[in-house]
Chain A
């Protein structure tokens, strides 16, 4: 609270005091009180007024000063009530209690949404685990009862499984809680596992896979990383024509490892490229392909952000290259 503002606020008191002084002076003068007495009384009166103004200012100023300064410095403004001390004066206490009350009700409000979201996520997780049982049963039934329709039914079930997995990771990516564990892990087994899951597409489309220097250690969560790579490879396989090549390679730098997935597909139009990580964006390729949901890369980006990985994409007519940057630091484990 600036002094000028304070004085302006207290202007009414000063004006009243001046008026009172004039009236008192005239009255005392008229009743023939001696001049020195009048001066003395007026001085006393003004001393009381000024002293009380100063004291009042001195009590309020530190509180309001602290309030506005902390508010400026805070990132999360709503934490202000945690940061200030309760003032000593009545109107300040009123304000303080008010703020506390408002804060509490806001926290309750936010929490109710948080719990609702947590609830929903738990439901999705449970649902995903439940749906796996009938899917596994369907697989078994198909294997035990060979018929000409099996291969295509298997393919459809595989697609269902993929969508189910996507739903699970979507729920996880929106959660404020951490349900991943960053560990030091070898990249090769993770990549091999993902490639194996796609082996049918690779083999039937006669797409060659080339792996260069993948025996490196990175810091990440293996399940999440598997999901991310699975999405990237699914895209690469969709847009690479048969007899094409998909190359997975790493480059090692002192402070980072870059994993590149390069395909020899049709590439992404330059005007689409900057938007591929957006939710629901399908672009020209997606529209012609029809199968695209615009969720794959969006989820990749989101999960990468949670895992502290960087993901970038480059593309030209010769193909598309997705790069995942793993920082190298033991700090990652402490986060």
Chain B
């Protein structure tokens, strides 16, 4: 489990963000001793820093620079100061990413996992499993009993979303939202067409009824189809 340190002076945001991240499978550390923040970082050795810019005692940019002297821990700057200057300065001081408040939490999660993956899992391909079916995200390939089918961008995103939410119903709207978040601006009809194509490809792999339709609700994949 990755340990994430939230350096943020607003107590409410700190605790709520901490709760949100721990719900999403991260270990969270929330120091509130801003005077000794550098030694706290040094002692706790988090996998990633979420750093606010407006902080008491030491400015976020200063912390960023000081941390960079001794460590390569990934740093994501999260701030309400969203000017170009702040962004440039942050990135120049060695921050890995910059997100402006008020951020979309899903976007924050996506940035987090992308940075973590880049730093700690470089080279490893990203693979999801359901039973004997494997979905290779980086190659966009679905494998079952040694047989492969290539998926298009849209189909990959649909499968990815369904795999992530296995055993729960995913509404058509949620599927579309997931695709839109990935820059695929599909409409209702396209989604239907893509689902049908996907089912054909699954038939080709001799997997029947993996994607089940719940009328009026959406789609679902059961782990033990």
Residues of A in contact with B (beta carbons under 8 Å apart): 129-130, 132-133, 135-137, 139-141, 143-144, 161, 181, 192, 195-196, 199-200, 202-204, 206-209, 211, 223
Contacts and interface: CB of A to CB of B under 8 A. Distances in A.
Contact of B181 (A181, A199, A211): A199
A144 B187 contact: no
Contacts of B187: 206-209
Contact of A203 (B103, B180, B183): B180
29 contacts: A133-B80, A133-B101, A136-B101, A136-B103, A137-B10, A137-B16, A139-B102, A139-B105, A140-B12, A140-B17, A140-B19, A140-B20, A141-B12, A141-B16, A143-B20, A144-B16, A144-B23, A161-B102, A192-B183, A195-B180, A196-B180, A196-B181, A199-B180, A200-B177, A203-B177, A208-B187, A208-B188, A209-B187, A223-B82
3 closest residue pairs by CB, A with B: A140-B16, A208-B187, A132-B80
Nearest to A209: B185
Q: Chain A contact residues: over half helix, strand or loop, or mixed? A: helix
Contacts of A129: 80-81
Given A139-B102, A143-B105, A195-B185, A202 B10 contact: no
Given A132-B80, A181-B84, A204-B173, A140 B13 contact: yes
B101 A132 contact: yes
Contacts of B10: 133, 137
Contacts of B158: none
Contacts of B185: 192, 195, 202, 209, 211
A137 B6 CA distance: 14
A136 B102 contact: yes
B75 to A, nearest CB: 19
B176 interface: yes
Nearest to A132: B80
Nearest to A180: B84
Nearest to B107: A196
B178 to A, nearest CB: 10
A150 B106 CA distance: 16
A181 B101 CA distance: 21
B102, B105, B176, B187 — most chain A CB neighbours (10 Å): B102
Nearest to B187: A208
A136 B107 CA distance: 13
Given A137-B12, A199-B177, 6 more contacts: A135-B102, A137-B13, A181-B84, A199-B180, A203-B176, A204-B173
A130, A132, A136, A144 — most chain B CB neighbours (10 Å): A136
A204 B188 CA distance: 10
B19, B81, B173, B185 — most chain A CB neighbours (10 Å): B185
B222 to A, nearest CB: 24
Interface string B163-178: 0000000000100110
Contact of A136 (B13, B23, B188): B13
Nearest to A211: B185
B153 to A, nearest CB: 14
A143 B109 CA distance: 13
Nearest to A125: B83
A203 B173 CA distance: 6
Contacts of B84: 181, 223
A105 B16 CA distance: 55
B177 to A, nearest CB: 6
Interface in B143-200: 173, 176-177, 180-181, 183, 185, 187-188
A144, A181, A195 — most chain B CB neighbours (10 Å): A144
A228 to B, nearest CB: 17
B13 A133 contact: yes
A20 to B, nearest CB: 78
B86 to A, nearest CB: 11
A204 B174 CA distance: 10
A143 B106 CA distance: 10
